[in-house]
Amino acid sequence: MGVRAEQRERTRRALLDEAERLFARDGYGAVGLPAVVAGAGVTKGALYHQFDGKAGLFAAVLERVQERVAGRVVAAARGYPDDPWQQLLAGCRAFIEASTGPAAARIMLVDGPAVLGWPAWRDLDEQTSGRHLAAALRTLVEHGDLAPQPVEPLARLLSGAMNELAMWLAGPGTTAADRNAAQAALERTLAGLRSG
């Protein structure tokens, strides 16, 4: 990588880091680009060289947050290399944990659908955590842990339920007891799908 490419990458990373911090703290609507460029220590021209404005910057931040959550899902599932069912459970637990932190929840679950619009947000969700969920379900059908069935409707059903559960857990007033009850409800729901 050349010097200019390295500088562009540093600038991009600084903008993403600062934008993520501000979007998580204040929400999309309250963040102005002057605050982002000042916090990142770059010019407004550098921002526009990297992104096509605030919405484009937010989309890049959201993608980064979604990829981070998906990475935690994959890492949790890897802990059970020979047990596809435990991989699913661990991945679902990791999704709930990773997506309900205040920063991830604000960016991913609250502002994400509002800023990008539901179809674009849904596409991004499917490319990250949704893709891993569908793959896990396909494996479970192939191994006989789930009855033979089309995977796409089941993946969408579970993804929607987990996103809704995460939004509730990330909201004000939820407790550790709520989190434990939510995880137990999710595991009971998944157990109800299991063959045999």
CA–CA separation, 74 and 95 (whole Å): 9
Count the neighbouring beta carbons within 10 Å of the beta carbon of residue 75.
Answer: 13
Q: Kindly list the structural domains of the chain, giving each domain's residue range(s) and its CATH number in brackets, ordered by start.
A: 1-51 (1.10.10), 54-192 (1.10.357.10)
Q: Which of 170, 13, 26, 181 is nearest to 95 (CA)?
A: 170
Per residue of the chain (196 residues), give pLDDT as tens. 788 889 999 999 999 999 999 999 999 999 999 999 999 999 999 999 999 999 999 999 999 999 999 999 999 999 999 999 999 999 999 999 999 988 899 999 999 999 999 899 989 888 888 889 999 999 999 999 999 999 999 999 999 999 999 999 998 899 999 999 999 999 999 999 998 6
